[in-house]
């Protein structure tokens, strides 16, 4: 009789109860001889895992110990195949590798209904569908898989599964400093012990920033997460950028100048101008350096969002806009303009950016403060865009 091989890939960044429920349902449905749980090195659909393969492998092991019997765990391998490739790897490559290992086996590929709906976008998806029977668990937020059935056939597992994702778990940890109940207890304990998923950043900020500044950072992280969810962005990236955006506020003006000089920021003429006229503005650029050096943030989008959250810039990315707006309108900012910006941001992010820039410009004029040319560039670009939009209409 042919061996039955169950394959379950994903970021598992971190593993959560939804992963375990889906895997247990698949075990019950097909009773596999072996199961390969395969953490992604870099997902084809994501920028990369927040934590290392070593950490995620340990977390998966703890999750499996909590959910499966010793006999079942003997059948499960946390497969380092994708990590060994040291590159973006596709499912068809994984299946080719496993077929060489199990030449006469029957393969089952496990996924949630959210993945099934995007299956047609997978590289060589027809080869994947021909080489493995697809097992799909229906998530409560994507119960209708009719569009997926037009692309491929699959077997639906019994039951309905929670709409939790690793991205949503990460975003909640970043924005609150607490591990949600969607994470198994042993996994949560390890995350807390090692300070994973931003918990080390929370501790760092609490020891370096004033309490009201920490409260603001949490408020920005929460609002940024919500705005990313509303506008189709990455809520985890938004929450992390919001959490770290004011890390540079730990320094006085003099120390900011010294920090900027030490890290080569003053090589840029316009940053030297800021250092001379309004050195407190350097905290944004210092924050990006801290995010990269202290917390190994490599995402250029996150670093730009931290760097430009105060002044903004012409041509901001969606994440930059979210942090620019969230910094000005987080919930602890109780004044009227902040409430108006916050309300606008959930309807029209660009309109909220304009309101934020106008508020900052008014504040500078009323206070007779130096106006940084970068802020002026943003304002002029918004005016040009508004005129172009009006002309087009």
pLDDT for 339 equals 96
Q: Are residues 34 and 130 in the same domain?
A: yes
Residue 125 in contact with residue 152, Cβ under 8 Å? yes
As for how many domains the chain has, the answer is 2
**Positive/negative CA dihedral, 171, 177, 179, 181:** negative
Structure confidence by residue, pLDDT tens digits, 221-261: 999 999 999 999 999 999 999 999 999 999 999 999 999 99
pLDDT for 391 equals 58
Confidence of residue 375 (pLDDT cuts 50, 70, 90): confident
pLDDT for 47 equals 62
Cα 244 from Cα 302, distance rounded (Å):
9
Q: 128 in a domain, yes or no?
A: yes
Q: Are residues 220 and 358 in the same domain?
A: yes
Q: Residue 385, Cα to own-chain centre: how many angstroms?
A: 29
Q: Which domain holds residue 360?
A: 209-392
Q: Among the three residues 132, 164, 196, which one is the final residue of a domain in this structure?
A: 164
Structure confidence by residue, pLDDT tens digits, 25-44: 999 999 999 999 999 887 66
118 or 306, which is more confident? 306
Q: Among the three residues 111, 138, 164, which one is the final residue of a domain in this structure?
A: 164
Whether residue 381 has pLDDT greater than 80: yes
> Coil, strand or helix: which one is 106?
strand
> Which positions ≥6 away from 384 have C-beta within 8 Å?
none
Please tell me the pTM assigned to this model.
Answer: 0.91
The CATH code of the domain that includes 261 is: 1.10.3210.10
Cα 19 from Cα 12, distance rounded (Å):
8
| Length of the chain counted residue by residue | 393
Q: 104 in a domain, yes or no?
A: yes
Confidence of residue 187 (pLDDT cuts 50, 70, 90): very high
Q: Are residues 150 and 30 in the same domain?
A: yes
Q: Are residues 17 and 80 in the same domain?
A: yes
Q: Are residues 213 and 159 in the same domain?
A: no
Q: Among the three residues 110, 132, 164, which one is the final residue of a domain in this structure?
A: 164
Confidence of residue 368 (pLDDT cuts 50, 70, 90): confident
Mean pLDDT, the chain, rounded, equals 93
């Amino acid at each position: 009789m042919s061996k039955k091989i169950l394959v379950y890939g994903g970021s598992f960044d971190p593993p959560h109860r939804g992963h375990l429920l889906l895997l247990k349902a698949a075990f019950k449905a097909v009773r596999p001889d072996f199961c390969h749980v395969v953490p992604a090195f870099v997902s084809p659909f994501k920028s990369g895992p927040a934590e290392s393969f070593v950490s995620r492998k340990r977390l998966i092991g703890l999750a499996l110990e909590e959910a499966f019997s010793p006999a079942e765990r003997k059948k499960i391998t946390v497969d380092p195949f994708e990590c060994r490739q040291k590159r973006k790897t596709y499912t068809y490559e994984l299946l080719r590798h496993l077929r060489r290992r199990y030449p006469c086996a029957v393969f089952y590929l496990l996924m949630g209904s959210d993945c099934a709906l995007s299956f047609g976008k997978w590289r060589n998806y027809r080869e994947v569908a021909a080489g493995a029977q697809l097992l799909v668990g229906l998530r409560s937020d994507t119960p209708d898989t009719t569009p997926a059935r037009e692309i491929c056939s699959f077997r639906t597992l019994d039951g309905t599964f929670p709409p939790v994702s690793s991205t949503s778990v990460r975003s909640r940890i970043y924005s609150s400093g607490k591990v949600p109940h969607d994470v198994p207890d042993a996994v949560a304990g390890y995350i807390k012990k090692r300070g994973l998923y931003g918990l080390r950043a929370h501790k760092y900020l609490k020891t370096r920033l004033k309490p009201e500044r920490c409260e603001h950072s949490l408020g920005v992280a929460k609002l940024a997460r919500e705005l990313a969810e509303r506008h189709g962005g990455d809520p985890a990236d938004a929450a992390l950028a919001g959490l770290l955006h004011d890390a540079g506020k730990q320094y006085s003006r003099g120390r900011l100048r010294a920090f900027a000089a030490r890290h080569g920021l003053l090589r840029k003429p316009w940053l030297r101008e800021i250092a001379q006229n309004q050195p407190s503005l350097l905290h944004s650029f210092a924050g990006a350096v801290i995010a990269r050096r202290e917390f190994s943030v490599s995402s250029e989008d996150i670093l730009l969002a931290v760097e430009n959250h105060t002044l903004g810039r012409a041509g901001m990315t969606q994440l930059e806009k979210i942090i620019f707006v969230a910094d000005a309108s987080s919930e602890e900012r109780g004044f009227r303009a902040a409430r108006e910006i916050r309300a606008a941001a959930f309807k029209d992010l660009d309109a909220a950016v304009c309101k934020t820039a106008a508020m900052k410009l008014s504040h500078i004029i009323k206070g007779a403060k130096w106006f940084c040319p970068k802020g002026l560039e943003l304002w002029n670009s918004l005016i040009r865009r508004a005129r172009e939009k009006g002309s087009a209409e």
